[in-house]
Structure 1
Amino acid sequence: MRVGAGGLLALSGLAGLVYTTIAVIHYRQVLKLSQEEFEALPAIILVKLLISTVLAVLGAYIMAGPLKVVIMPPKGRSMDIGSQRIDFISFNMRSRAMPLDIPPLQES
């Protein structure tokens, strides 16, 4: 199986995300050992996270390929008419069993 440029970008982005996750866990453990309060992540970890996310999204975008045009049939049943919508039909049937002449509540 051949892996293209998109696959390599996505794989490197995911590997970077895993590495960044491990770096955050390590940073939190160091803070616990030194008994310091967690305020924010270091800038270098945030930059690595941003780069890894961009690589993963770009790789997924390249792997998806070009968009395809949706062609509807010129005549015949459209998708809205053609679908059976079983849930809607059963809801419609149950609503017919409700009485329409409900007497008002009487106060005591």
Structure 2
Amino acid sequence: MGLGFVVGVLGVLILSHAAYSTIQYRSLLKITEEEFSGPPMNVVVELILGLGFCMWAALTVPGKFRSIVPYSDDNRVVSLPANMDFMIFNHRGKAFPLDVDMKLK
């Protein structure tokens, strides 16, 4: 577990706490019979902070990009899958006519 993963988990926890705080605030407004005009400022700050943490973690956790060599043998598919049961050749495309004689106006 690296730093990026920990920051991502912290971001998710902050976002979930902001959601819980908004739900709690709305229930408080229902009890006092006031109208909901928007979340409080501390919830907005939590949302921005949690979003920033989650975006930072999403960009750093996957790791470094590797270059793609276009003429490498590692990029080629050399064999078909061993299980051919899920290959479907019978589909809705057979309902369309083969000879389409449509003219553009």
TM norm. shorter chain > 0.5: yes
Q: Match of 1:49? A: 47
Task: Return closer, same or farther for 1:99/1:47 CA change in 2, 3 Å cut-off.
Answer: closer
Q: Match of 2:10? A: 12
Match of 1:35 among 33, 37, 45: 33
Q: What is the total number of aligned residue pairs between the two structures?
A: 88
Quote how far apart the aligned CAs of 1:99 are.
Answer: 6.1
Q: Which runs of 5+ in 1 are unaligned?
A: 80-85, 102-108
Report which of the two structures shows the higher radius of gyration computed on alpha carbons. Answer: 1
Deviations 1:21-51 (A, max 9, x none): 1001000000100000111111111011100
Q: Match of 1:100? A: 101
Which stretches of structure 1, 4 residues or longer, exceed 4 Å deviation after superposition?
none
Q: TM-score, normalised by structure 2?
A: 0.69
Quote how far apart the aligned CAs of 1:100 are.
Answer: 3.5
Q: TM-score, normalised by structure 1?
A: 0.68
State the identity %: 21
AA aligned opposite 1:100: D
Summarize the alignment of residues 66-77 of structure 1 with structure 2, pairs less than 5 Å apart: 66-73=64-71
Superposition RMSD on alpha carbons, in Å? 3.1
Q: Which runs of 5+ in 2 are unaligned?
A: 78-87
The structure that is helix-richer by fraction is: 1
